[in-house]
A = this chain, B = another copy of it.
Amino acid sequence: MPFTENFNTVVRETEQWLDRLVPPEDAFPPAIHQAMRYSLFAGGKRMRPLLAVAGCQAAGGERAAAMPFAAALEIIHTYTLIHDDLPALDDDELRRGKPTCHVKFGEDIAILAGDALLTLAFRVLTDRSLFPGVPAESLLALARETAEAIGSTGTIGGQVVDLEHENATALDPAILEYIHTHKTGKLIALACRGGGMLGGAGEDQLSALTEYGRRVGLAFQIIDDILDVEGDEKRLGKKTGADKRMNKMTYPSVAGMKASREKAVELIDMAIRELEMFGEKAAPLADLARYVAARTL
């Protein structure tokens, strides 16, 4: 499979879908739509859409079947970034090499742009016309699982616990794992699982996709922590050392750099092993797992 070409197609189509789903910049009131688009098109890696499409393909589905869901995931991811960057939360001024949403548009518009993106994601996930051939019950289930994954016991729960431990002196590995598996892991696992649902996966396949997603998600976060210590600011598009400045618990600070690398590699291996039942159709998922690992090597 031509790795790069396939993935570039998904990235390009995700951006086309985002452009189609979000009101244009001049739609009234323009300030909110400019802010939503500014953050959506600030050049993300589109990791969650890639995972969703690869999950759909692993189950035997077509790329097109997963695209609106893939776009909804990116919309949700962008909302979490905008709110996490706010002064009252992580207080970041730079994201993907550009001023963060509140720096560019003001805190008020940034808060509302995040709210509007979250709302838009559910607008997309409840629109049958965007998911031809998907039974209404299946679409409801997908929207419900999405709400569960990103709610107060999911993504938001992870962010709350992260904030609570910003200046923690005692570093509990269980707390750190909760933060990572929830703050980023829940949405990444949902991407894989939801893609599988749209591809017609059975229960066994959905469980495998969820496990794959959990492991890749945790590896992804550990590697993010490693890059915050060792990475190249220019390539990352954000300041490194932010975790240390914020006194944030990270895998390297809790377990050390060597053990963190080993853990990430082990998680990637385990994730790839979950894919056996899918055969060749899971090649994109395996490639994505290797791509996540490669960021840190």
Q: Is the CB of A160 within 8 A of B83?
A: no
Q: Is the CB of A153 within 8 A of B119?
A: no
Q: Is the CB of B128 within 8 A of A126?
A: no
Q: Is the CB of B32 within 8 A of A157?
A: yes
Contacts of A140-194 to chain B: CB distance below 8 A: 140-141, 143-144, 147-148, 150-153, 156-157, 159-161, 163-164
Q: Is the CB of B31 within 8 A of A116?
A: no
Name the residue on B nearest A139 (C-beta). Answer: B140
Q: How close is A133's CB to chain B, nearest CB, in angstroms?
A: 14
Q: Is the CB of A116 within 8 A of B156?
A: yes
Name the B residues within 8 Å of A153 (CB-CB). 23, 27-28
Q: How close is A154's CB to chain B, nearest CB, in angstroms?
A: 8
Query: Are A143 and B122 also in contact (CB < 8 A) when A88-B107, A136-B137, A164-B29 are?
Result: yes
The residue among A159, A160, A164 with the most chain B CB atoms within 10 A of its own CB is A160
**Interface flag for A257 (CB, 8 Å):** no
Name the B residues within 8 Å of A272 (CB-CB). none
Name the residue on B nearest A129 (C-beta). Answer: B144
**Interface flag for A244 (CB, 8 Å):** no
Query: Are A119 and B160 also in contact (CB < 8 A) when A126-B143, A140-B140 are?
Result: no
Name the B residues within 8 Å of A52 (CB-CB). none
Contacts of A116-141 to chain B: CB distance below 8 A: 116, 118-120, 122-123, 126-128, 135-137, 139-141
Which of B31, B111, B127, B139 contacts A88, CB < 8 Å?
Answer: B111
Q: Is the CB of B122 within 8 A of A122?
A: yes
Q: How close is A52's CB to chain B, nearest CB, in angstroms?
A: 18
**Interface flag for A242 (CB, 8 Å):** no
**Interface flag for A283 (CB, 8 Å):** no
**Interface flag for A206 (CB, 8 Å):** no
Which of B32, B141, B148, B159 contacts A156, CB < 8 Å?
Answer: B32
Return the CB mask of A91-126 against B: 1 if under 8 Å, else 0: 000000000000000111101101110111011001
* 8 A-B residue pairs with CB within 8 Å: A27-B152, A29-B161, A88-B108, A89-B108, A109-B163, A111-B111, A114-B115, A139-B140
